[in-house]
Structure 1
Amino acid sequence: MVNETETLPTDTCAVVADIGGTNARFCRINLTTFELDRVQVFACADYPTLTDVMTAYSREQDVPLEHVAIAIACPVDSDEINMTNHHWQFSIRGVRKSMGLKTFKVLNDFAAAAMSIVTLQPHELKQIGGGKITPKAPKAVLGAGTGLGVGHLITMPDGSVMPLPGEGGHVDWAPTNEKEWAIHRFIHNRVGRVSAERVLSGPGLETLYLALADYHGRNVVPLSAAKIGQRALSGIDTLALETVNQFFASLGSFAGNLALNLNTYGGVYIAGGVVPKLMQLMATSNFRARFEHKGRFCQVAEAIPCFVITAEHAGLRGVGQYLKQSLQQSK
């Protein structure tokens, strides 16, 4: 994470944003009460640059931009930011200077997703198998949307938490049976290397639909991820239902791998735009079976709970939590 270091006064409001490849969500946060208001969602494609959408938010919500923190869907390891699934590029210092900001902080979107975990209430989480969490144990978070985001969260000795952002969505996708090898070949013939994101994302769901049609020797019209989900939920399209079930099976294997990486007895948390919309089908899928199918380490996987985050604007809350914690540490 790269951040400007100027301390924010605790008696002011800040603007926070969660910026993905498709949408940019902005809101104002009260740094004393931690309340969110003036939430507005913008389509990234409608704005040439980040500063254009920041200016639009300020103008439309009549909110001055002084102290701003954003989470963004790409690596944040230098001053130069290049989004993975969108064309925006910018310099952190350049934006701060050109916008006249007193403070500008930038973190990876799944660092923010990880930070949001500590703000969630029990009713904002839907548990999918496993036992009870170990509160101070490592946690993992993943989310399928425009891409596949991955992060972890660890608790420090002083009780604060540290997000561990990464690019785990771009690891190799590992087929586990004959059908999945056929899917792998289909995708490989189209794009070359097959990453997990090629399967576990909104565009991945669309590709899975075509790959499974090819596997069954069927000719189909390409469908959007939203349409595939709708048709699967309604039961009118068996191929769409098979596609969603395959998505959840592969998601379970991937989530189980994350669980083993850091022994995440604090839980594995699923965010993103795809899964919450298909929750009805998740319980009857092979998600949990594939999560636990880890050979000699199946007992470890069986004990680790999974949760789907159902809270609205969790990413924004994560940015706010990061900002709040950084303020406390700067005192």
Structure 2
Amino acid sequence: MILNKARPSSYPRLVADIGGTNARFGWIAGPGAGATQVRKLAVPDFPGPADAARAYLSELSVALGQAYQPPRQAAMAVATAVGDDRVAFTNSHWGFSRAALQAALGLDGLQVLNDFEALALALPHLRPEQLRAHGALPQARGTLAVIGPGTGLGVAGVVQTRHGWLALPGEGGHSTLAPGDDFESEVLRAVRRDFSHVSAERLLSGIGLPVLHRAVAGVLGQQIAEPWAAEQIMDRGLAGADEAASRSLDTFCTLLGSFAGNVALVLGARGGVYIGGGIVPRMEQRFFASAFRERFEAKGRLRGYLEAIPTALITDTLVALTGAAAAIEQQVG
């Protein structure tokens, strides 16, 4: 749903990328401009997005002085499914009415879109310096896919049409995760003792990494009395200071590779599959040394199909703001 009413100018524009942990805000000053004045605010510090946006705009008005004008249009990329007027976040306490938020911020138009819909809209605009690829860089043509392990696990696609790029939002992160070898079968069997449905997000996310680590430790014969925090698993695993943590990161990469290959097949994403989110950039070297790409391609008779699809890591954490800006541009020009 898009709330919009005509007005002579649609600038300046407010863009936001709101996850379960952080909310990033940016400013589009005029035609052709990128997002500037980017600020990151902690979601737990505010009751809702209106309060966070007001705090950002208040700080911005001081920084810009007489050059500041209230935003006319806004787009907010949110880490949850988007349906009718009411938006409730999956992995945070925030919830809001889109109509009420537009009124509270005095906007002429407000778009609210899934954060991975915004990330998908940004894919055709990415520059080589914002990516690190397994070999050749993806090409902005045909169909592209993006998968993002962050607080949760986002999945989306974007299709090239004669009218421009069309985003394909969805909730693919909640599809059932499949093992790729005997070790992963044991890991998933251990997880199913606690969860009747093991989705990709259940293991391939910030909230899932402790679940994965505990299961891996159990398969290795270690007992974890209390779940480790994702940060601890990441730090100790990357340092090689704990066998279960290290094996968990390797398993994370192989499971992600298998899942990414599935997404590529489902969407026909021959233009490329991009990995976003905040987790993989933290272990960039480990990721590129892992069996991710081998598992991405390991689809039996369709190996050749997958071998031709490029994969790349998005190293710029602010690209969803580009997608939010593209969403406004598609709507109001």
Which TM bucket (shorter chain)? Answer: over 0.9
**Contact 2:210–2:227 (CA under 8 A) maintained in structure 1:** yes
The equivalent of 1:54 in structure 2 is 53
Cα separation, partners in 2 of 1:314 and 1:238, compared to 1, 3 Å: same
Query: Which residue, out of 91, 97, 110, partners 1:91?
Result: 97
Cα separation, partners in 2 of 1:192 and 1:9, compared to 1, 3 Å: farther
Whether 1:173 aligns to 2:151 is: no
Letter in 2 for 1:230: D
Whether 1:104 aligns to 2:118 is: no
Whether 1:19 aligns to 2:18 is: yes
User: Taking every aligned residue pair, what percent have the same amino acid on both sides?
Assistant: 39
Give the stretch that moved more between structures: 57-66 or 109-118. Answer: 57-66
Give the stretch that moved more between structures: 54-63 or 206-215. Answer: 54-63
1:2-81 mapped onto 2 (5 Å cutoff): 2-7=1-6, 9-10=8-9, 12-62=11-61, 64-81=70-87
Please list the CA deviations of residues 113-168 of structure 1 after superposition, one character each: whole Å capped at 9, or x if unmatched.
00111221112111125x5645421000010000000000001113x101110000
**Contact 1:48–1:88 (CA under 8 A) maintained in structure 2:** yes
Please list the CA deviations of residues 244-278 of structure 1 after superposition, one character each: whole Å capped at 9, or x if unmatched.
00000000000000111122111001110001111
Query: Which residue, out of 206, 210, 214, partners 1:206?
Result: 210
Distance in 1, Cα, partners of 2:122 & 2:7: 20
Please list the CA deviations of residues 44-65 of structure 1 after superposition, one character each: whole Å capped at 9, or x if unmatched.
1111122111221122222634
1:137-156 mapped onto 2 (5 Å cutoff): 137-156=142-161
Distance in 2, Cα, partners of 1:9 & 1:138: 35
Letter in 1 for 2:292: F
2:192 aligned counterpart, secondary structure: helix
Whether 1:184 aligns to 2:183 is: no
Whether 1:248 aligns to 2:227 is: no
Query: Which residue, out of 212, 232, 238, partners 1:233?
Result: 238
TM-score between the two structures when normalised by the length of structure 1: 0.93
**C-alpha displacement at 1:280, in angstroms?**
0.7
Give the stretch that moved more between structures: 318-327 or 265-274. Answer: 318-327
Please list the CA deviations of residues 186-243 of structure 1 after superposition, one character each: whole Å capped at 9, or x if unmatched.
2222232111100110121221111111111213453222222222222222222111
1:191 aligned counterpart, secondary structure: coil
Letter in 2 for 1:69: A
Cα separation, partners in 2 of 1:237 and 1:32, compared to 1, 3 Å: same
**Contact 1:200–1:247 (CA under 8 A) maintained in structure 2:** yes
Distance in 2, Cα, partners of 1:106 & 1:253: 31
Distance in 1, Cα, partners of 2:137 & 2:77: 30
**Contact 1:132–1:304 (CA under 8 A) maintained in structure 2:** no
Query: Which residue, out of 306, 313, 322, partners 1:317?
Result: 322
1:203 aligned counterpart, secondary structure: coil
2:263 aligned counterpart, secondary structure: helix
Distance in 2, Cα, partners of 1:9 & 1:302: 50
Give the number of equivalent residue pairs: 325
Letter in 1 for 2:331: S
Distance in 2, Cα, partners of 1:10 & 1:79: 25
Give the stretch that moved more between structures: 232-241 or 273-282. Answer: 232-241
Whether 1:163 aligns to 2:167 is: yes
Distance in 1, Cα, partners of 2:144 & 2:159: 7
Distance in 2, Cα, partners of 1:263 & 1:11: 36
